[in-house]
């Protein structure tokens, strides 16, 4: 890996490097056995990157197992962040290599999720996901009937106000396997709120998006059946001890909250698949609210 000084930032090449993760804001490559670089997409500013780095350090201090950033670099015409992470393998690669350990991975990922949720942030320290979702709901109001909007607003208001730490983008591409332990990466979504918002992102990743387009499961490195297995087992383990009706209610609420997030995101980021995603989620909201009521 060639490194040189350019415009006060080191420049590196990712030629021949293995891609191990990909998210909304960038792609993660393994540049050495103990080194990762997250290459940001066009439009991500240095301020955004420094904010994410600060969130990574804050998460680490609070006890979340994560990679610590140590520098900003240039990768061609893009910015990147360097991370040191020893013997790391993406969860997608791990499951592909060891499919028989899928249940072990799900159990460990739920343990990790609960470890994160055992941490409480100070008031105002991080973005509040409930408040953010209220803003998203207002933005998509015109896409819903007045009746469905009002029902959604009431459900959202009923979610408890909490300062529980959330990763808020909890899926295979943001989980690394290091030996027998898991670590989280991509901390730009770190926030606080009731854990139902975390479960909403789980449902989005493994069921909602793949139900719209099976390619969403392939993006995670798995098939639709495996995605559904991860989702269902995650809810079962996380809500273990709750009554069946409580689990069903949690899934119901998570689906609705997840649809709000998808509609707002797709409406804000015009993509070829945006219209299909928005229409699908609007139909799901109508169906879920009409069933419950």
| DSSP secondary structure letters along 1-19 | --EEEETTEEEE--TTPEE
Distance, C-alpha 25 to centroid of its chain: 11
CA dihedral 80, 109, 159, 122 (to 10 degrees): -60
DSSP conformational letter for 92: H
Residue 30 has pLDDT above 90, yes or no: no
Q: Does domain 89-292 match CATH 3.90.1200.10?
A: yes
Q: List, for residues 152-171, the tens digit of each pLDDT value.
A: 999 999 999 999 999 999 99
Q: Which pLDDT score, from 0 to 100, does residue 272 have?
A: 85
Q: Which pLDDT score, from 0 to 100, does residue 3 have?
A: 45
Grade residue 7 by pLDDT with cuts at 50, 70 and 90: low
The answer to whether 122 and 163 have CB atoms below 8 angstroms apart is yes
Q: To which H or E segment does residue 266 belong?
A: helix 244-268
Measured N-to-C along each axis, helices 196-203 and 244-268 cross at an angle, to the nearest 10 degrees, of 70
Taking alpha carbons only, the member of 169, 170, 165 closest to residue 61 is: 165
Q: Which pLDDT score, from 0 to 100, does residue 5 have?
A: 42
Q: Which pLDDT score, from 0 to 100, does residue 293 have?
A: 54
Taking alpha carbons only, the member of 201, 206, 198 closest to residue 226 is: 206
Question: Would you tell me which CATH number, out of the four given (3.40.50.450, 3.30.10.20, 3.30.420.40, 3.30.200.20), belongs to the domain 3-86?
Answer: 3.30.200.20
Sign of CA dihedral 259, 263, 264, 270: positive
The span from the CA of 95 to the CA of 102, in Å, is 6
Grade residue 22 by pLDDT with cuts at 50, 70 and 90: confident
DSSP conformational letter for 205: I
Give Cα separations from 285 to 111, 149, 162 (angstroms).
30, 10, 25
Number of Cβ atoms within 10 Å of the Cβ of 24: 13
Most confident region among 39-43, 86-90, 280-284 by mean pLDDT: 280-284
Q: Average pLDDT in the 272-280 region?
A: 93
| Fold: same for 3-86 and 89-292 | no
The span from the CA of 34 to the CA of 82, in Å, is 11
Q: Which pLDDT score, from 0 to 100, does residue 4 have?
A: 44
Residue 21 has pLDDT above 80, yes or no: no
Grade residue 1 by pLDDT with cuts at 50, 70 and 90: very low
Taking alpha carbons only, the member of 272, 261, 271, 258 closest to residue 206 is: 258
Q: List, for residues 186-242, the tens digit of each pLDDT value.
A: 888 899 999 999 999 999 999 999 999 999 999 999 999 999 999 999 999 999 988
- Output the average pLDDT for the chain: 91
Q: List, for residues 48-104, the tens digit of each pLDDT value.
A: 899 888 888 888 888 889 888 888 999 988 999 998 876 778 899 999 999 999 999
Rg of the chain over Cα atoms, rounded to whole angstroms, equals 19
Q: Which pLDDT score, from 0 to 100, does residue 60 have?
A: 87
Position of tokens 């350019």? Answer: 6
For the chain, the structural domain boundaries read 3-86, 89-292
Q: Which pLDDT score, from 0 to 100, does residue 84 have?
A: 83
Q: Which pLDDT score, from 0 to 100, does residue 61 have?
A: 87
Residue 172 has pLDDT above 50, yes or no: yes
Measured N-to-C along each axis, helices 196-203 and 129-139 cross at an angle, to the nearest 10 degrees, of 50
Q: Which pLDDT score, from 0 to 100, does residue 233 have?
A: 97
How many percent of the chain have pLDDT more than 90? 66
The span from the CA of 112 to the CA of 202, in Å, is 13
Ranges of beta strands (E only) in 26-156 are 26-32, 35-40, 68-75, 78-84, 88-90
The span from the CA of 137 to the CA of 264, in Å, is 8
Q: Which pLDDT score, from 0 to 100, does residue 85 have?
A: 76
Distance, C-alpha 149 to centroid of its chain: 25
The span from the CA of 118 to the CA of 114, in Å, is 6
- 73 vs 6: which has the higher pLDDT: 73
């Amino acid at each position: 890996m060639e490194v040189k000084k350019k415009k006060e930032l080191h420049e590196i090449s990712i030629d021949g490097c293995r891609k191990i993760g990909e998210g909304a804001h960038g792609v993660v490559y393994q540049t050495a056995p103990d080194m990762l670089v997250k290459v940001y997409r066009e439009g991500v500013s240095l301020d955004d990157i420094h904010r994410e780095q600060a969130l990574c350090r804050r998460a680490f201090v609070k006890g979340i197992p994560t990679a610590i950033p140590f520098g900003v670099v240039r990768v061609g015409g893009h910015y990147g962040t360097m991370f040191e992470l020893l013997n790391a393998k993406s969860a997608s690669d791990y499951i592909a290599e060891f499919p028989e350990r899928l249940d072990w991975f799900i159990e460990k990922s739920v343990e990790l999720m609960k470890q994160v949720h055992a941490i409480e942030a100070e008031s105002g320290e991080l973005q509040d996901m409930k408040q953010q979702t209220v803003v998203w709901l207002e933005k998509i109001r015109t896409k819903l009937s007045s009746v469905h909007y009002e029902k959604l607003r009431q459900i959202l208001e009923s979610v408890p106000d909490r300062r529980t730490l959330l990763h808020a983008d909890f899926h295979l591409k943001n989980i690394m396997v290091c030996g027998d332990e898991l670590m989280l990466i991509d901390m730009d979504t770190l926030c606080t709120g009731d854990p139902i918002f975390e479960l909403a992102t789980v449902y989005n990743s493994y069921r909602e998006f793949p139900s719209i387009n099976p390619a969403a499961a392939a993006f995670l490195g798995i098939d639709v059946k495996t995605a559904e297995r991860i989702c269902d087992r995650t809810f079962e383990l996380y809500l273990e001890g709750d009554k069946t009706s409580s689990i069903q209610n949690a899934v119901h609420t998570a689906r609705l909250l997840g649809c709000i997030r998808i509609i707002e995101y797709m409406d804000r980021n015009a993509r070829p698949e945006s219209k299909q995603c928005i229409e699908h989620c609007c139909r799901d909201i109508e169906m879920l609210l009409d069933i419950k009521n």
